[in-house]
Amino acid sequence: MTQSDLQSDLPPAATETDILWFLPTHGDGRYLGSEVGARHVSLAYLGQIARAADDLGYFGVLLPTGRSCEDSWVIASAMVPLTERLRFLVAVRPGLQEPAVAARMTATLDRISNGRLLINVVTGGDPVEGKGDGIFGSHADRYAVTDEFLTIYRQLLRMEDTSFEGRHLRIEKGQLLYPPVQDPYPPLYFGGSSDVGMQVAADHVDTYLTWGEPPADVADKLRAAKAVADTRGRTFSYGIRLHVIVRETSEEAWSAAADLIKHVDDETIASAQKTFSRYDSVGQQRMAKLHGGNRDKLEVSPNLWAGVGLVRGGAGTALVGNPDEVAERIKEYMALGIDRFILSGYPHLEECYRFAELVFPKLPLKKTTGRDRGPAKNAGPFGEVIANVVAPSHRKTAAG
């Protein structure tokens, strides 16, 4: 098979991209696996990050979900009045929520935010946590519930009178009285690496998500997801979830990566990996395979570092490098068809600024991402007044 044949099986290359950031509702700090430099997850601090992302022009923010996190719907509702343009990627949880209640919550938050809601469909990959939430189904059962949930949920949000009887869920003459702002409903994001996950995605969602694997592995996954969607006559947009560690020089970036895990010992890694091994999530298994639970070779692809995944579940890789290197890696993923990046970094407030200031100017951003106000006229991140009398003559990033 030729290179052109391989490319033809992929989604079309993305020519522009949207960038989303992350609200760390499960904790933040300067170091992983340590209380050193840790920060309180307060409304004030989360508000700082949301306002920064809004002011810098990020397309939106992802709010994580699970028992280790503050509730994403409550936090998003609190962030809406603090922001102007920022969108909120909030989770619905099939099996944990009833689809009718989730539909009402969705329509309400979409209305009060004036159409700034995005929906992240989360099936869940930790059977132990699931049982603690009252969910006892197998991996296949949970995806079957997700399929039935989305069938009902989407009909309700389309303002249809809804009756449905499946193996897991049932509804009679369900109805949503007040519609969402977005037509027919807020965009649905979903990540599923298993075959059944891709089938659910192909039937229901708008954006297919993957975690940050090496480009060749991501290409294989996108190729598989696209093939399933093709059988349904549907198309996706594609997104990727990554951390970032960007500094003005490559040396500084790699030093920051090493610094991030300097308080993580082998016992902590072993304990975390033991917990992750109980997951039946194919995506989590793929993340763990990248580093194998040790720190011997964490650069798994050029500028792609798996150190975060030593102690953090879910997204476990970071793009590490100077602005040109990080932008180049992002463009490689864009060539595979990815048109949106959901990013984070430690601490999230500072890295939010760093990435926007250093990398935004090097990316082909959609009009929905980025905000150029021209040269800064006050004391700010692009230079203060010289000697109290002379304003800088032009805007210049720290990277030159």
Specify if 170 maps to a domain. yes
**Which DSSP symbol is given to 280?**
-
- Please tell me whether the peptide bond between 392 and the residue prior to it is cis, using omega within 30 degrees of 0: no
In order of 20, 27, 49, 192, the CA distances from 74 in angstroms are 19, 16, 16, 25
Token couple for 279: 């997951």
Residue 377 forms part of a structural domain? no
Structural domain includes residue 371: no
Residue at 208 is within a domain: yes
Domain that holds residue 251: 3-362
> Is 368 within the bounds of a domain?
no
Q: Is residue 389 part of a domain?
A: no
Q: How many whole angstroms separate alpha carbon 210 and alpha carbon 227?
A: 16
Digit-by-digit pLDDT tens for the chain (400 residues) are 344 444 569 999 999 999 999 999 999 999 988 888 899 999 999 999 999 999 999 999 999 988 888 999 999 999 999 999 999 999 999 988 999 999 999 999 999 999 999 999 998 767 777 777 777 778 888 989 999 999 999 999 999 999 999 999 999 999 999 999 999 999 999 998 888 999 999 999 999 999 899 999 999 999 999 999 999 999 999 999 999 999 999 999 999 999 999 998 878 887 877 777 777 677 777 877 777 767 888 889 999 999 898 888 778 899 999 999 999 999 999 999 999 999 999 999 999 999 999 999 999 999 988 776 666 554 444 456 666 566 665 545 444 4
pLDDT at 275: 77
- What distance lies between CA 323 and its chain's CA centroid? 20
Report the CATH number that the domain containing residue 140 is assigned in CATH. Answer: 3.20.20.30
**What local confidence, expressed as pLDDT, does residue 388 receive?**
58
pTM for the model: 0.89
Question: E strands within the chain?
Answer: 18-22, 28-29, 38-39, 60-62, 87-92, 117-121, 162-165, 170-174, 188-190, 207-211, 237-246, 299-301, 304-305, 318-321, 338-344
Considering the domain boundaries, does residue 232 fall inside one? yes
- What local confidence, expressed as pLDDT, does residue 127 receive? 74
The domain total for the chain is: 1
What is the phi/psi pair of residue 185, to 5°?
-170, 165
Nearest CA among 261, 267, 263, 315 for reference residue 287: 315
Helix (H) or strand (E) holding 274: helix 266-277
Q: CA 185, CA 37: separation in Å to the nearest integer?
A: 40
Residue 385 covered by a domain: no
Res 7: pLDDT: 58
Quote the pLDDT of residue 193.
83
What pLDDT is stored for residue 382 in this prediction? 47
**Which residues neighbour 134 within 8 Å (Cβ) at sequence distance 6 or greater?**
96
The whole-number pLDDT of residue 206 equals 96
